[in-house]
């Protein structure tokens, strides 16, 4: 019996390349056993394109495991033609488990399911081959801008930036943003599978993050009119309830944000509250939702942004928001319908369907929304699969017709597999995955829009990452903003 994998080749170079397959040994191809290795032979990869083509599923490839190949190592070599050509040799099957895929450094980069260790061959691991630009644009123009005051700097340097609507602006964003500290883990959880950040909310603000994914949590010993809310990264386990770890407190987050906007009068901050959960794994009841809203209003005070019912924040300009003085936008998803109160600062989140088999459209039954966002992660440990998935989704978004200030979230995040997301699943952590993805963000951003500046009308609005520990997402967002037509 052969062993298989899913495979994608992605070209992040701004130049076209061809690919061929050579040195093939003990591999099925041309559709035999479903293996489509031939897709990569005599293929053309244009700038920012992939094989299989964007929007298509990864190609399945399979090694021969019987007959004369039963005790032999399968192998093939993928070759790139063109300037600074490269090649990578891939061993898909060996005589004894576990299987090892070889890695070649340099302009051709290979990503496999579990970095630097053999693949255990549970299911169909993924091979991603990334062809990078050997000479990407320099980051230097964006390296000396203060993370704490970057919006103010752009407003001072370029009057056009302030006149842009929010859906024409790119902001650095943090996934599961409050999980820079880990507290009170349950029996079936630990930091490896729940910690998504290294910095506190205060530290992320200083690094330039302006959109925060906040997930409120109600510990078991809290109830009444004024419970002490924390945050958390939890999943629901039947019978047991919520399993995960707590992060920063809601009080600490709101205090950090209030102090930041008081010190930085030309910056705005967006807090998106969702996934609220109790220790029993249940959504907040009405009284608990009301308590959370009351705390948010009390602690943010006159910094809390307000709008009209159904008013589309994405159509408002940066100047309108910042000059209004109320610069903390609190967006909620999952509240009881009667608790949304845009004039009182409780903005309503509006999602866009992640069903990629249908035309993109707002989720049904979402009325009077204020903040409409396409937010669809890739759900893979493989950075190449993630990048092709997000590029496909971005192009689908920009091809659709929008008129209500809809925005796009570029989810540059990797997700632990079902096996690795259990406490006994291995050593790979969420932060490990982020350390794989984040160094590729600049290559990705500059390959999406190679210039000249002013050629794009719709940037990725939120550059969404794990493990914020420097200004990597800020530099990508600044680059996107520099490419937008005035």
pLDDT of 469? 92
pLDDT of 174? 98
Averaged pLDDT in 10-residue chunks for the chain of 486 residues? 83 93 94 95 95 94 86 88 81 63 66 51 73 90 94 94 97 98 94 97 98 96 83 89 95 98 98 96 95 98 97 98 97 97 98 90 88 96 94 96 96 91 87 94 94 87 97 97 90
Domain co-membership, 283 together with 414: yes
Domain co-membership, 259 together with 294: yes
Domain co-membership, 88 together with 201: no
Strand partners of residue 341: 346
Distance CA 121, CA 301 (A): 54
Domain co-membership, 113 together with 178: no
Domain co-membership, 144 together with 256: yes
Domain co-membership, 356 together with 228: yes
Given 107, 131, 155, the domain boundary residue is: 131
CATH number, domain containing residue 426? 3.20.20.190
Tell me the three-class secondary structure of the chain, residue by residue.
Answer: CCCEEEEEEEECCCCCEEEEEEEEECECCCCHHHCCHHHHCCEEECCCEEECCCCCCCEEEEECCCHHHCCCCEEEEEEECCCCCEEEEEEEECCCCCECCCCCCCCEEEECCCCCCCECCCCCCEEEEEECCCCCCCCHHHCCCCCCCHHHHHHHHCHHHHHCEHHHCCEEEECCCCCCCCECCCCCCCHHHHCCCCCCHHHHHHCCCCEEEECEEECCCCCCCCCCCEEEEEEEECCCEEEEEEEEEHHHHHHHHHHHHHHCCCCCEEEEECCCEECCCCCCCHHHHHHHHHHHHHHHHHHECCCCCCCCHHHCEHHHHHHCCCCEEEEECCCCHHHCEHHHCEEEEEEECCCCCCCCCECCCCCCCCEEEECCCCCCCCHHHHHHHHHHHHHHHHHCCCCCCCEEEEECCCCCCCCCCCCCCCCCCHHHHHHHHHHHHHHHHHHHCCCCCCCECCCCCEEEECCCCCCHHHHHHHHHHHHECC
Domain co-membership, 171 together with 300: yes
Which range of residues forms the domain containing residue 49?
A: 4-131
Domain co-membership, 23 together with 170: no
Domain co-membership, 374 together with 228: yes
Q: What are phi and psi of 472, to 5 degrees?
A: -60, -50
CATH number, domain containing residue 91? 2.60.270
Closest listed residue to residue 381, CA positions, set 119, 115, 195: 115
Domain co-membership, 60 together with 189: no
Domain co-membership, 245 together with 220: yes
Given 78, 96, 131, the domain boundary residue is: 131
pLDDT of 105? 57
Domain co-membership, 52 together with 161: no
Give me 265's structure tokens. 């009068």
- The number of domains in the chain is 2
Given 131, 157, 181, the domain boundary residue is: 131
Closest listed residue to residue 229, CA positions, set 208, 204, 255: 255
Q: Is the dihedral of CA 254, 257, 259, 262 positive or negative?
A: negative
Angle at the Cα of 360 (from 48 to 388), degrees rounded to 5? 25
């Amino acid at each position: 019996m052969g062993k298989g994998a899913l495979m994608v080749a992605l070209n992040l170079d701004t130049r076209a390349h061809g690919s061929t397959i050579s040195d093939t040994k003990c591999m099925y191809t041309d559709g035999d056993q479903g293996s489509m290795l031939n897709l990569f032979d005599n293929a053309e990869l244009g700038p920012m394109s992939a094989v299989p083509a964007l929007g298509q599923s990864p190609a399945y490839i399979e090694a021969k495991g019987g007959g004369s190949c039963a005790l032999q190592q399968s192998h093939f070599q993928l070759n790139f033609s063109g300037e600074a050509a490269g090649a990578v040799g891939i061993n898909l099957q060996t005589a004894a488990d576990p299987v090892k895929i070889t890695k070649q450094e340099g302009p051709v980069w290979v990503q496999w399911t579990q970095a630097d260790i053999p693949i255990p061959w549970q299911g169909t691991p993924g091979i991603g081959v990334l062809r990078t630009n050997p000479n990407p644009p320099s980051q230097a123009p964006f390296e000396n801008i203060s993370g704490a005051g970057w919006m103010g700097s752009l407003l001072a340097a370029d009057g056009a930036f302030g006149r842009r609507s929010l859906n024409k602006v790119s902001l650095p964003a943090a996934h599961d943003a409050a999980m820079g500290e880990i507290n009170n883990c349950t029996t079936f959880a630990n930091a490896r599978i729940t910690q998504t950040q290294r910095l506190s909310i205060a530290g992320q603000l200083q690094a330039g993050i302006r959109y925060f994914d906040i997930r409120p949590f109600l510990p078991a010993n809290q109830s009444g009119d004024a419970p002490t809310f924390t945050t958390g990264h939890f999943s629901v386990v039947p019978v047991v309830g919520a399993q995960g770890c707590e992060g920063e407190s809601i009080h600490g987050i709101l205090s950090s944000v209030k102090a930041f906007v008081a010190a930085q009068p030309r910056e705005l901050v967006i807090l998106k509250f969702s996934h609220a959960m109790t220790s029993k794994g249940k959504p907040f009841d009405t009284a608990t939702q009301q308590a959370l809203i009351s705390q948010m209003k009390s602690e943010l005070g006159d910094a809390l942004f307000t709008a009209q019912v159904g008013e589309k924040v994405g159509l408002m300009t940066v100047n309108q928001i910042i000059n209004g003085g109320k610069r903390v936008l609190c967006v909620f998803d999952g509240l009881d319908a009667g608790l949304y109160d845009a004039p009182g600062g409780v903005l309503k989140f509006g999602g866009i369907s992640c069903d990629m088999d249908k035309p993109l459209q707002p989720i049904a039954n979402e009325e009077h929304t204020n903040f409409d966002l396409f937010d669809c992660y890739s759900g893979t440990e493989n950075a190449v699969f993630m990048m092709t998935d997000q590029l496909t989704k971005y192009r689908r978004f920009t091809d659709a017709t929008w008129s209500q200030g809809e925005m796009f979230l570029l989810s540059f995040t990797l997700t632990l597999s079902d096996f690795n997301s259990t406490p006994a699943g291995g050593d790979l952590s969420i932060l490990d995955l982020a350390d794989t993805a984040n160094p590729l963000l600049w290559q990705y951003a500059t390959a999406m829009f190679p210039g000249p500046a002013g050629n794009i009308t719709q940037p990725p609005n939120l550059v969404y990452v794990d493990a914020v520990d420097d200004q990597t997402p800020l530099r990508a967002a600044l680059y996107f903003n520099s490419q937008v037509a005035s």
